[in-house]
Homo-oligomer: A and B are copies of this chain.
């Protein structure tokens, strides 16, 4: 594996075209924190399969167009090449493209939206990074903010129509889902779709490709992704969440990202960190349910906002905002008080 990646690296160093391909693959990999072109390639297969299986190949195309547009914009803005080559300016772009093509009706203006959203995602990535650098990364905040604005605006534009958006309503008490109680198989489905929903896909096969993409880069990441999905599904079930949301993975994709981020990216693994990441994962499930409710009057989806909010809250204790030091990688050091 190392050998393959090394030779690929030297190969892409030799060609501008391959380098750009490498950047875009890493950008796709960074959606799940993997600075690894092979992960990105496997994630892309998962996206392609999921889109094809859902009868909407345009979704995968929109994702590819968006990640390419993001990286072209990043080059135009002369970002630092290390971050560029790590794919950090592409992962929000592809998510914007996937989300817009998933929630909106096809048409020429959809593609204008995809290109515009991808370009602006780079600006918001730079903006967010400058604000949160002291304690962590921008995560998928640029994707969430831009997609929310673009989707909200469609309610004011006749040229763009939301075909898969929720309908607006004021908040009312939850009517428990009475039908057939969940079987183990339903929960297993929920676990796998929680992983594929990170890319807005409801496909078990896609989730296998995603787990493979994680494993080739980091076994720990694959483990925390799967563990986070299991913990999320059990938590949602225990609290009495709607069955369709559980089995569809719609309460689990944010917790999966929280688990990977806190468990493998920003902290060195340890039992304290596992417990800390587990607490954050459980709270992400609750935050997902909360934001689903809070966004009801606006008729837009929560996307990965719960992951961003909770992960930032659980990263901040390690840093003072006025320091520029790299994020601490354990929980041992004394933490600042009130």
Query: A150 near B77 (CB under 8 angstroms)?
Result: no
Q: When A157-B289, A321-B131 are in contact, do A338 and B240 touch as well, CB less than 8 Å? A: no
Instruction: For A125, list chain B residues within 8 Å (CB).
Output: 338
Copy tally for this chain in the complex stands at 3
Instruction: For A109, list chain B residues within 8 Å (CB).
Output: 238-240
Of B170, B335, B338, the contact of A169 (CB 8 Å cutoff): B170
Query: B242 near A317 (CB under 8 angstroms)?
Result: no
Query: A316 near B157 (CB under 8 angstroms)?
Result: no
Name A111-154 residues within 8 Å CB distance of B. Answer: 116, 119-120, 123-131, 133-135, 137-138, 148-154
Give 12 A-B pairs besides A155-B173, A168-B172 with Cβ atoms closer than 8 angstroms: A77-B317, A86-B337, A109-B238, A123-B313, A126-B337, A151-B290, A152-B290, A167-B172, A168-B170, A169-B170, A294-B298, A321-B322
Query: B149 near A174 (CB under 8 angstroms)?
Result: no
A329 to B: closest C-beta gap in Å: 15
Query: B242 near A320 (CB under 8 angstroms)?
Result: no
Query: A80 near B334 (CB under 8 angstroms)?
Result: yes
Identity of the chain B residue whose Cβ is nearest the Cβ of A324 in the assembled complex:
B322
Query: B116 near A282 (CB under 8 angstroms)?
Result: yes
A126 to B: closest C-beta gap in Å: 4
Query: B130 near A158 (CB under 8 angstroms)?
Result: no
A49 on the interface (CB 8 Å rule)? no
Identity of the chain B residue whose Cβ is nearest the Cβ of A157 in the assembled complex:
B239
Query: A240 near B158 (CB under 8 angstroms)?
Result: yes
A176 on the interface (CB 8 Å rule)? yes
A162 on the interface (CB 8 Å rule)? yes
18 A-B pairs whose Cβ atoms sit less than 8 Å apart in the complex = A78-B331, A79-B334, A116-B282, A119-B279, A127-B315, A127-B316, A131-B321, A134-B321, A149-B286, A149-B287, A153-B290, A153-B293, A155-B172, A158-B176, A159-B239, A160-B240, A170-B299, A297-B297
Query: B174 near A157 (CB under 8 angstroms)?
Result: yes
Query: B133 near A321 (CB under 8 angstroms)?
Result: yes
Identity of the chain B residue whose Cβ is nearest the Cβ of A91 in the assembled complex:
B338
Instruction: For A238, list chain B residues within 8 Å (CB).
Output: 109, 159
Q: When A127-B313, A174-B158, A290-B150 are in contact, do A77 and B335 touch as well, CB less than 8 Å? A: yes
A195 to B: closest C-beta gap in Å: 21
Query: A155 near B130 (CB under 8 angstroms)?
Result: no
Name A49-88 residues within 8 Å CB distance of B. Answer: 77-80, 82-84, 86, 88
A272 to B: closest C-beta gap in Å: 8
Instruction: For A240, list chain B residues within 8 Å (CB).
Output: 109, 157-160
A179 on the interface (CB 8 Å rule)? no
Identity of the chain B residue whose Cβ is nearest the Cβ of A299 in the assembled complex:
B171
Q: Once the chains are docked, how many angstroms separate the CA of A162 from the CA of B172?
A: 10
Q: Once the chains are docked, how many angstroms separate the CA of A80 from the CA of B320?
A: 14
Instruction: For A337, list chain B residues within 8 Å (CB).
Output: 79-80, 82-84, 86, 88-89, 126, 129
A74 to B: closest C-beta gap in Å: 9
Q: When A283-B120, A336-B133, A337-B129 are in contact, do A174 and B154 touch as well, CB less than 8 Å? A: yes
Query: A156 near B241 (CB under 8 angstroms)?
Result: yes
Instruction: For A78, list chain B residues within 8 Å (CB).
Output: 331-332, 334-335
